[in-house]
Amino acid sequence: MLELVRKIILGKDSYQLNKKDIKTFTPVEKSLDKNLLYLKNIFSDSEDLTIREFNIQDKKAAVVTIEGMIDKETLTSSVMMPILKDTSTHESTQEDQFRYIRDNILATSEQYEVKNFEEALNYMMSGFALIILDEVPSILALGLQGFKFRSISEPVAEVMQKGSREGFVETLKVNMTLIRRRIKNPQLKFESMTVGQISKTNVSLCYLKDTVSDKILDEIRKKIKNADLKYLLAAEYLATYLEEDDSFSVFSSVGFSERPDTVCGKISEGRVAILIDGVPSAIIVPYLFIEYFQTLDDYAVRPYFATLTRWLKYMAFIISTILPGMYVALGTFNPEVFPNKLINKIAVAIGDTPFPILLEAIIIHFVYEIMREAGLRLPRTLGHAVSIVGALVIGETAVEAGLIGAPTLMVVALTAISSYVIPNLYEAAAVLRFVFILIGGTFGIVGVMVLFSVVLLNICAKNNFGVPFFAPVTPFNLKGMRDVAVRASWKILSRKYEKVQNVSDTADE
């Protein structure tokens, strides 16, 4: 869609430790017994630490692993058997033997020589095996990852009709592979960082070197490095630190996606994707407001139909946020705007219910949010019970009993359906919905219009990493509107154009 600027630095291996994040270093000792004692003290009372001591030509050695994190068959066939079967005796010292094993015996593709325990522990808890030899002040870390993980399946939150059926899983390296399979370009880089003072979670920045903005990338690195987190267990933990510092808005300029194809599309536009080990989704920064209304299916159908659905989404968002407030405002202060037949039915419904229209709308929306939360938390086998209770008890029975009015219930139902058209904006729409109801019931239609203007100004004023949140609407970019007001054909979208500044260039100026 919108192209950001170019240039970047080389990425690192996904398991390379960022040494700037390490406060102190504990050097590896020459004595094998001291090294093993240090590891046993670090992992005291932990049953998943495994230590296998053996001899290499009468010289003591050990392999240290974390139970369940490595592939034992690979450890046996590619590490232990080659070492123990080797009969060469031409190495004079232990360090020479260490180098000989490293360079001539082991068949693993990932090998790193480390000289401090902080780096060694990071590798070990990422699925590496540690080879330690007596009288050698170095440790050999071997990539033997073999932990169990969920198989690749279709994303639950982002269902597409014509897109891929693959979604991210909780394993970082698998997610990196899903992206690499779709962008077979050496300019695609994965840069590793470690976040979380206690969890030490691996985080990978994914970007195209020749497309991404250096300024944006440097700022992302800085914000991630300064993230004061003890644990990183969900993408939202880190997203808070990527937001604009002085921003006050219900809308987020940080996007999320469970789909590799969607993330690849954003990366190709110059965005940065942030993959987190243990999280089955990617963070996308910077993220624009109009991207909440775009899905991959929009680009897999004919342009005229995609344009129609795009405008349906715009209308659905407005309905889901403003309609209840407008209904309360008009029913309370300006009932004369309704047609005569409709106003008579509304008046009868209001007269038969014990609550004013403002309180009635708030109660129904509050009950609906309770039902929605219950449906999300209940086991799937009981989920249908919420629908039955909502339709029969809350809906039909409450109207017949005269507790709520049918027109108000109809407005709530239409609002609820509309809010699910743009699921990524549901949280913002739910909050704004209550605010619009309160303002509409207190100040009338004027209050609704003023609040709508405030929300619109907030969207226009918001930016992240120097990129306007409401681009390309403001600042206006006619070329960019080919994927906002309409969804142009691929012949137009794929056409490169010149003499048009991209969004990040404008922000830099």
What is the chain's pLDDT, residue by residue, as a tens digit (509 residues)?
A: 433 333 332 333 444 444 444 457 889 999 999 999 999 998 887 888 999 998 887 788 999 999 888 888 888 888 888 888 876 655 568 888 888 888 888 877 789 999 999 889 988 988 899 999 999 999 999 988 887 788 888 888 888 888 788 999 999 989 999 999 999 999 999 999 999 988 889 999 999 998 999 999 999 999 999 998 999 999 999 998 998 766 678 899 899 999 999 999 999 989 999 999 999 999 999 999 999 999 888 888 899 999 999 999 999 999 999 999 999 999 889 888 888 877 887 777 777 778 888 998 998 888 888 888 877 777 766 666 666 566 656 666 677 767 778 888 888 889 988 998 998 999 999 999 999 999 999 999 999 999 999 999 999 989 888 889 998 998 888 888 888 988 888 888 877 543 333 444 444 44
| Residues paired with 63 in a beta bridge | 52, 131
Strands of 368-493, DSSP E = 463-464, 467-468
CA proximity to 437, closest of 415, 459, 404: 415
- Within 13 A of 148's CA, how many CA atoms are on the CB side? 2
Q: Which helix (H) or strand (E) holds 191?
A: strand 188-195
Tokens at residue 173, please?
């390296």
User: Residue 375 to residues 248, 379, 380, 385, 386: CA-CA distances in angstroms?
Assistant: 30, 8, 8, 9, 6
Could you state, in order of their start, the residue ranges of all structural domains in the chain? 31-143, 172-287, 299-464
Whether the CA torsion 271, 163, 13, 195 is positive or negative: it is positive
Q: How far apart are CA 75 and CA 84, in angstroms?
A: 12
Q: Does pTM top 0.95 for this prediction?
A: no
- Within 13 A of 276's CA, how many CA atoms are on the CB side? 25
CA proximity to 329, closest of 320, 337, 319: 337
User: Is 436 exposed, middle or buried, given 0-12, 13-18 or 19+ CB atoms closer than 10 A?
Assistant: buried
Q: Which helix (H) or strand (E) holds 61?
A: strand 59-66
CB 266 within 8 A of CB 284: yes
Tokens at residue 366, please?
């509050």
| 3-state SS, residue 206 | strand
Q: How far apart are CA 362 and CA 434, in angstroms?
A: 7
| Residues paired with 145 in a beta bridge | 70
User: Residue 472 to residues 1, 304, 343, 449, 451: CA-CA distances in angstroms?
Assistant: 10, 21, 42, 24, 23
